[in-house]
Chains A and B, each alone.
Chain A
Amino acid sequence: MDFSVYLHYWPKLLSGFGNTLFCWATGALLGIALGFALALLRRTGFAPLLWLLRGVIEVVRGTPFLIQLYLLYDGGPAIGLKLGAMQAGILALGIYGSAYFTEIFRAGFAAVPRGQVEAAESLGFSRLDILRRVRLPAMLIAIVPALTNMIIILSKETVVLSVIAVPELMYQMQSMAAETFAALETIIAMAVLYWLMVEAAARLGRAAELRVTAYLRVA
């Protein structure tokens, strides 16, 4: 073991880590936004739209992320979608995540107690206000653990972006391993960094959970 390789490679490690964080965060946000939008569209109950959305979601959930990434990055230009590696990576993460996030939101909408919505309806609330002030707060209690889970899963999918040469952590570490033959040191550094990232996300998730359920505990 020769940990001195880190002395030379830490700028690469750091920039890789930064890029991983960036791709993860923007990909997750995009996935949540898309997933929420899809869940709202599905609530319109317009049958052809429902079939279409269900089909898209099944395809995205039924194929490996690696293949989706290649399809988007290599196949995109064929339909006029020319993206840089990082753009393609983030978009792919967002699309991949949205298929799962939308199911979480769908379950969340189903978990909102009907009476809370009826109370708002009977007072003359608009649908938008019911969504913002009643449905969302009520569903958050139910879905924060599942959201946290999916965000963590996405963090690990970011390693796949290395195959299209997004300079994220995996990519930088592979080049370090190739140049130094310090394979074990590389893997240890990666494991520690990813674990730190996931642990931080899990803690944030727990804090969010405590926060959205606070009203159940305060005196």
Chain B
Amino acid sequence: MSGQPVVEMRGVTKRFGQNEVLRGIDLTVNRSDVVCLIGPSGSGKSTLLRCINFLESYDGGEVRIDGRLIGYRDEATRRPMPGRDLQAMRESIGMVFQQFNLWPHMTALDNVAEALIRVRGLPRATAADRARAMLAREGLTDKEAAYPARLSGGQQQRVAIARSLAMEPKLMLFDEPTSALDPELVGEVLQVMRGLAAEGMTMIVVTHEMGFAARVATRVAFLDQGRIAAEGTPRAVLHDSEEPRVRQFLQTYHERNDF
């Protein structure tokens, strides 16, 4: 299915009560794109990301993964899609969270192996082998038996990334993956993500790491009040944008890093 976009969002709207969080999002993500979503807090970045794997339902418009509508049976009636279909679609969409969300009662190895056993139906030993290989890739072999409570934030996030990658997703969603980390731990996580991008993984990243967006993204989208206010190459958005809201937003970064 070459040429088919991996993610296609058209006119997506979402409200929480009176609050319109997304006001008509159009976004297309092609294979091996790395799209960074930036913007002020409350602009709808995380909500947009969470609509892509339907962790958040959307009210209007459509979200398609490999051409298939997610969350609803069809656009007309908007009846919810059967749980099993939604589960099947989610299997191929990895997600990494700000708070890691590892399961604290499982070791690092079990965290990675669990979905392979429950969702993929692999035998326990095969799943453990694959999980071991995934952790080894990230240099976490000595942490296999450790429970999350004993891992640093950076290590936890790398285990969480390994947990998603073990399912061999065609798309990875990152929701502020480094925002909960101490500054000295941010690097190790960004390095893993840079490696993934280099391997051609399709990625959508909500982030405040402008350096990462500038160097790794193929495209940057700036969100403001539920709309994409600017979109283009990192250079076009981060350096050359005439959009006053973008410039004002980026100004805060320049000021913060200016010491």
* Contact surface of A with B, Cβ cutoff 8 Å: 113, 115-116, 118-127, 129, 133-134, 137-138, 212, 215-216, 218-219
CB within 8 A of A124: which of B99, B102, B119?
B119
Q: How far is the CB of B139 from chain A (nearest CB, A)?
A: 20
Number of A-B contacts (CB under 8 A): 79
Whose C-beta in chain A lies nearest to the C-beta of B149?
A216
> Are B103 and A126 interface neighbours, CB within 8 A?
no
User: What would 11 A/B residue contacts be, using CB atoms closer than 8 Å?
Assistant: A122-B55, A122-B90, A122-B94, A123-B90, A126-B84, A126-B119, A129-B118, A133-B118, A138-B105, A218-B147, A218-B150
Contact string against A for B residues 140-163, beta-carbon threshold 8 Å, 1 for contact and 0 otherwise: 000000010110000000001001
Residues of A within 8 A of B106 (CB): 215
| Interface pair B53/A126, CB less than 8 Å apart | no
The answer to whether A116 touches B101 (Cβ under 8 A) is yes
| B149 with A118: CB separation less than 8 A | no
Chain B 145-185 interface 0/1 with A at a Cβ cutoff of 8 Å (1 = within): 00101100000000010011001000001000000000000
Across-interface contacts of B55 in A (CB, < 8 A) = 118, 121-122
For this complex, into which size category does the number of interface residues on chain B fall? 20 to 34
Q: How far, in whole Å, are A134 and B103 apart by their CA atoms in the complex?
A: 7
- Complex CA distance for A115 and B95, rounded to whole angstroms: 11
If the complex has contacts A122-B93, A215-B105, are A127 and B118 also in contact, measured as CB distance less than 8 A? no
| Minimum C-beta distance from A69 to chain B (A) | 39
Which of A113, A118, A216 gathers the greatest number of chain B CB atoms within 10 Å? A118
Q: Which residues of chain A are near B94, meaning CB under 8 Å?
A: 122-123
The complex places the Cα of A134 from the Cα of B84 at a distance, in Å, of 18
Q: Is B164's CB under 8 angstroms from A123's CB?
A: yes
Smallest CB gap from B83: residue in A: A127
Decide if B115 touches A124 in the complex (CB within 8 Å): yes
Q: Mark B233-249, 1 if CB is under 8 A from A, else 0.
A: 00000000000000000
B102-117 interface mask toward A, CB cutoff 8 Å, 1 = contact, 0 = none?
1111100000001100
Contact A118 B97 (CB under 8 A): yes
Which B residues are CB-close (under 8 A) to A125?
87, 115, 118-119
A126 to B230, CA, bound (A): 38
Which of A119, A122, A216 lies in contact with B103, CB distance below 8 A? A119
What residues on B are CB-neighbors of A116 within 8 Å?
Answer: 101, 103-104
Cα–Cα, bound, A118→B102 (Å): 10
Asked whether, in the complex, the Cβ of A123 is within 8 Å of the Cβ of B99, the reply is no
B167: which A residues are within 8 A, CB to CB?
A: 123-124
Check if B1 is an interface residue, CB within 8 A of chain A: no
Given contacts A123-B164, A138-B103, 10 further A-B contacts (CB under 8 A): A113-B101, A115-B99, A118-B101, A121-B55, A122-B93, A124-B89, A125-B118, A133-B114, A137-B103, A215-B104
Q: Complex formed: what's the CA distance from A11 to B13 in Å?
A: 75
Complex contact B147–A215 (CB within 8 A) = yes
Q: Assuming A123-B90, A125-B115, A126-B83, is B97 touching A137 (CB within 8 A)?
A: no
* A216 surroundings in chain B (CB, below 8 A): 104, 147, 149
Query: Are A122 and B119 closer than 8 Å at their CB atoms?
Result: no
